[in-house]
Structure 1
Amino acid sequence: MPQLYESLFILRPSLADEDIPKMLDKVKATVERAGGTVEHLSNWGKRKLAYEIKQEKKGIYVQLNYRGNGAVVAELERLFRLDDAALKYLTVKVEDNKLPPAATEHAKEPEHGGVQ
């Protein structure tokens, strides 16, 4: 059975509104092309960063849960490294019995975040 992974990535806030869905579609297509399946994709919106990343003070946070193998993770992280729209990313392996809660509570506060 394929392993469950969670990736959290931050996109540049300067992306046009019509470019955000295109980037998310590109991420989903990359996972599926590498042999994985997307289980959940959640756009948390624009939030203040805890510290400046590549001269940006805000970012668009996106959570992605997917199943696949190491090749899927490698291909997705390759996309993040090569695409200028991605500021930062982190991928972790999730145990099946510890599925993450839905990110709906995060989506309610799009302008908050970072260190308080």
Structure 2
Amino acid sequence: MKYIIDMIDDIRENIQNSKEYTLLAMLLKEDEEQNLQNAGEKVITSLYVDNTAKQLQLGFLDEHVTTKELLECLDSLEMQAMMYEVMIKISNEHPLMPIIGFGENHKQKQYIFFVTV
């Protein structure tokens, strides 16, 4: 489980707050030896702050979201929201799922959210 504050620190340290990265969900699945394997990727196209559930929810609506929009959204949050969970909805068939980690692909300018399925 990751929180907004964890994500802010990671974005600052690993992509120096660049506003040019696309957001990507990488789905990971455990194999027989309990190693995580890539089970697919999907570009994140929406974000929503749910103050009631205390979550930043990432999803796949027909919008365009980059680290620019993500950082602008985070700048408008109050301090207590920094402890909101970062969640992702990979499809309508799946519930909201917690992010387990972050990564980046500098060559393709992608900021990656890891989730297990």
TM-score by length of 2: 0.27
Choose between structure 1 and 2: higher helix proportion. Answer: 1
